[in-house]
Amino acid sequence: MSSSEAPPTAYPSTSLKAQDQAPGKGLDSKLEPAANWTQLEFWDDEGKSPYLKEYEGRGLLKDKAALITGGDSGIGRSVGILMAREGADISFVYLPEEEEDAQQTKKEIEKAGRKAHLMPLDITSRENCQKAVDEHMKVFGKINILVNNAAMQEVCQDIKDIDLDIVEKTFRTNILSMFALTKYAVKHMKRGSSVINSTSVAGYMGNPTMVDYSSTKGAIATFTRALAQQQAPKGIRINAVAPGIIWTPLQPATKGNPAENMEALGTQAAPLQRPGMPVEVAVAYVFLASPMGSYFTGEVIHGTGGIEMQG
Ligand SMILES: NC(=O)c1ccc[n+]([C@@H]2O[C@H](COP(=O)([O-])OP(=O)(O)OC[C@H]3O[C@@H](n4cnc5c(N)ncnc54)[C@H](O)[C@@H]3O)[C@@H](O)[C@H]2O)c1
């Protein structure tokens, strides 16, 4: 399909700019055009004009407390803001270099009338994972929702050149942290609580330029299914979301990802011919955490703009 046939949308899809950011230090504040974290796309009755409208909460998570990793930017930021609009207090973890984004997210959570607690911590250390849960408990006294969302990725074209330290760091960040955070959080969780993990289309299809990242994402899907069965008797639901190609700072901050790739991000691979906006997948996390998701456990919701997942 050529780009002239691209379905119309109120989200940016034709103004995507080539851009680069410091590897591993992606900032939403530098993303051009800006991502959308809070507005849903609606259509007029004629089906002619799409328009954007702010997400309105309905008290689905009233007085709950959520801990989100990677909550300063991208998908995690959107999840935090939407959950706050649904009535939850939010603590979130992020890399200290991303303080600027974290402060912006804090403002948005507070605008929704909820509390935000910021934890600039590197989750590759299990001590920091323990610290994050302890600090969250100290501030909010309960944990109803854990969103394991932080991740890193680097491009490597051939495994003969792969840096094994980066492979290890990718596994520590993306999947081993989930073991630690979930281990420490679950002991505080009551019936009705929920864990939601961010996996990826790459975990299903495999990305030949990011074999290590893809492997962690495949592991996350299986971690989710296995843990869901283990925790079901306790009434703790474990699910995952598999985003497709989403307009977040992870993309321009990926070491080895050419700046020009951002210009056409998602336009070829996704039938909707555009990247998704963080809000468009964040809604799935809200659903899974809320009472609407009560019969969902061990599931992966795919938000890919139509990219067909294999397996
Ligand atoms: N953007 C996409 O196209 C896409 C596609 C599929 C899956 N995902 C997944 O979505 C999730 C969120 O990513 P995003 O796209 O919103 O990008 P993002 O860059 O906005 O978020 C990544 C977050 O991870 C945090 N992080 C990374 N390493 C960390 C560490 N060692 N300690 C603490 N925090 C750390 C960063 O602070 C950042 O907030 C990730 O799991 C990613 O794999 C994204």
Domain 3-14+37-303 CATH assignment equals 1.10.10.10 = no
Centroid of ligand 1 to alpha carbon of 150 (angstroms): 4
Report the percentage of the chain scoring pLDDT > 70. Answer: 98
288 Cβ below 6 A of ligand 1: no
pLDDT, one tens digit per residue, over 261-305 is: 999 999 999 999 999 999 999 999 999 999 999 999 999 999 999
Non-local CB neighbours of 60 within 8 Å, separated by 6+ positions: 86, 87, 286, 290, 291, 292
What are the phi and psi torsion angles at 95 (to 5°)? -70, 135
CA–CA gap between residue 205 and residue 270 (Å, rounded): 13
Q: Where are the beta strands (DSSP E) in 137-265?
A: 145-148, 194-198, 237-243
Looking up tokens 């990802």, which residue turns up?
257
Quote the ligand 1 centre to 43 CA distance (angstroms).
30
How does pLDDT run across 63-78, given as a tens digit for each residue?
A: 999 999 999 999 999 9
The rounded Cα 124 to chain-centroid distance in angstroms is: 17
- Measured in Å, residue 226 CA sits from the centre of ligand 1 at 23
Please check whether residue 240 is in contact with residue 199, taking contact to mean a CB–CB distance below 8 angstroms. yes
pLDDT bin (cut points 50, 70, 90) of residue 1 is very low
- In the prediction, which pLDDT does 6 show? 82
Q: Which atom of ligand 1 is nearest to the CA of 245?
A: 3
213 is catalytic: yes
Percent of the chain whose predicted confidence (pLDDT) is above 90: 93
Contact 87, 60 (CB under 8 A): yes
Q: Is 284 in the pocket of ligand 1 (CB under 6 A)?
A: no
Separation of CA 216 and ligand 1 centre (Å): 13
Cβ 101 under 6 angstroms from ligand 1:
no
Q: Give, for ligand 1, the residue of 248, 261, 268, 301 to mutate: max count of ligand atoms closer than 8 Å to Cβ.
A: 248
Atom of ligand 1 nearest to the CA of 173: 31
* Closest by CA position to 180, among listed 172, 169, 189: 172
Cα 80 to Cα 100: distance, rounded to the nearest angstrom: 16
Q: What mean pLDDT, rounded, does the chain reach?
A: 96
Residues 10, 13: Cα–Cα separation, whole Å: 8
Q: How far apart are CA 15 and CA 34, in angstroms?
A: 10
254 lines ligand 1 (CB under 6 A): no
Q: Distance between CA atoms of 18 and 136, rounded to whole angstroms?
A: 38
Q: Is the pLDDT of residue 215 over 70?
A: yes
